[in-house]
Structure 1
């Protein structure tokens, strides 16, 4: 068996999408508690773009190869305590890095048995986005039946997952923002959100206040950051929560931000990351995903939206499509 494998590298260590290339590197050797998985497909995430450009704080235990979510077949183990997996099992999972490759060594705590009816491509699009959405909604947001929620970047993969999770949890109302009429239609007609707002043509904060009769929303999940901070405070309900997951619009607050609603409405604002968390925390999130989502994948109530599938060798084009901000759902690469 070969001791090397193909993996995606970045010329010069960092750079634009055109710097991505297929490299030949050492095949990973699983440590105790890890499985060796032969990868069938992997998903793209925005953190991958930042890591490619040298702008993402990669965890120290992560390999140099980009990529955190994958699907594939277990080929072996590194020993350690018994686990719920065996050689030949079809799995999908989350890793600290290394998924843009033919093989990955990953903790068995972050593996999930792949349901038969999910394709390799669909399964590869589940871990990062559904776990992140579950984290924001349940572990941080403590979302309950009968509450309302606002998802910014509504057609992003995480929000698509979160909208489905919120509906299944019995949300009173689900709102979203997006940047095109095509995405607004997708959110309202296909995902069934209560109302979606075009942030380019509408004052989404004012419109949500109208839609809620001034009571606001119980939970807001935001990836945009500084430009939306004031609006998030304005639309928060009494004792509302704002979960901050990204800074796509920047991290420096504009002049004139009024923080009075934080006090007057007792708003809790909490930021969170996933990749930097320890294995036990990630295992807890995996178990949350398994309990909330896996049964609904199996009976078809939850759907993995895949925008486009690329062959492994077309990684440059895949990154360029993700950078275009025109997608609805996951971009997946497959390894033949």
Structure 2
């Protein structure tokens, strides 16, 4: 890993060039650095980063929704860990005025991923029970807030940050206690799985009838034994999902759903960006090491 100075990229006809003061690090960036998660075709192959937040400084000829000077945040296929980032106009939306640049940088990947998994894939409803495994990270803490605002009873499974998770409106539990706690509440209608394979069997035990498991993270393992009998008995559904490699319009739909259903709550203060720590970009290697460690609460950012 090294820091390089390069010419500013030039926006295509439907792209905007965003000047970023901060950039969020995601687990996918760790995987890309390890050679396990290459960028999709058309995205920068040697610069990780799945999101952007900042100010539009240039735009393509066909861009209609944004002007220079607008503050935006959104998703990119790669190249997000830079102070100048290209993003398709349909993969971005405006930043609420109440959010600082640092807070805005902690939002897009975490909240869009969580909203897409919990609401779009998991169909979480009013009065449902939501279990978030790995609730102390960026995606997990966003998922907790989305569940609470959606009117669900939220159980946040994590080994740390229980006080902070409770402040967000969740019932914080240790991973070993999560199944019993959720079963006592009638079972989980939706499980947001951010840990991986070790939780698969326990998730099925925790599910209510017709419950949905949405797998987003596999940091603790990718392969698991699955009891088809349990799956059938619960009439359950397991979804796997990623955002990075989706076709343009599918990713645009996820960003626009976030814009309509999440951004207003960020604007009102009912939801908030949670930043664990900010590293100068010169200390990017240390930031990646911190991201790979345990005990975080919220997002890890680079500052340019």
Normalised by the shorter chain, which TM-score bucket? Answer: over 0.9
Q: Secondary structure of the equivalent of 1:165?
A: helix
1:189-268 equivalence runs, <5 A = 190-193=167-170, 195-199=171-175, 202-209=176-183, 211-212=184-185, 215-254=186-225, 257-268=226-237
Matched, 1:187 2:190: no
Secondary structure of 1:105's match?
strand
Q: Within 1, Cα distance between the matches of 2:71 and 2:208?
A: 44
Task: Give deviations 1:247-303, integer Å, cap 9, x for gaps.
Answer: 11212224xx53212111110111010101112111111111111121111121111
Match status 1:72 vs 2:54:
yes
Aligned equivalents of 2:177 and 2:67: distance in 1? 53
- The answer to whether the Cα contact below 8 Å between 1:42 and 1:124 also exists between their aligned partners in 2 is yes
Secondary structure of 1:240's aligned partner: strand
Number of aligned residue pairs: 303
Query: What's the TM-score, normalizing by structure 1?
Result: 0.86
2:154 aligned residue:
174
Query: What does residue 140 of structure 2 align with?
Result: 159
The structure that has the greater radius of gyration is 1
Secondary structure of the corresponding residue to residue 4 of structure 2: strand
Q: Does 1:322 align with 2:291?
A: yes
Residue 291 of structure 2 contacts residue 300 of structure 2 at CA under 8 Å; is this kept in 1? Answer: yes
The 8 Å contact of residues 40 and 70 in structure 1, kept in 2 or not, is answered as no
Cα deviation digits, residues 200-231 of structure 1 (max 9, x gap): xx34323432x22xx31101010222211111
RMSD, aligned CA: 1.5
TM-score norm. by structure 2 comes to: 0.95
1:10-66 per-residue CA deviation (whole Å, 9 max, x = no partner) reads xxxxxxxxxx22112342111110111122211111111111111113211210211
Gaps of 5+ in 1: 1-19
User: 1:40 touches 1:73 (CA, 8 Å); kept in 2?
Assistant: no
* CA distance in structure 2 between the aligned counterparts of 1:116 and 1:239, rounded to whole angstroms: 40
> 2:118, 2:227 → 1: CA distance?
26
Displacement of 1:324 in angstroms is: 1.2
CA contact (8 A) 2:72 2:94 kept: yes
Contact 2:22 2:83 (C-alpha < 8 Å) held by counterparts: no
State the alpha-carbon separation in 1 of the partners of residues 113 and 60 from structure 2: 28
How far apart, CA to CA, are the structure 2 residues paired with 1:100 and 1:240? 37
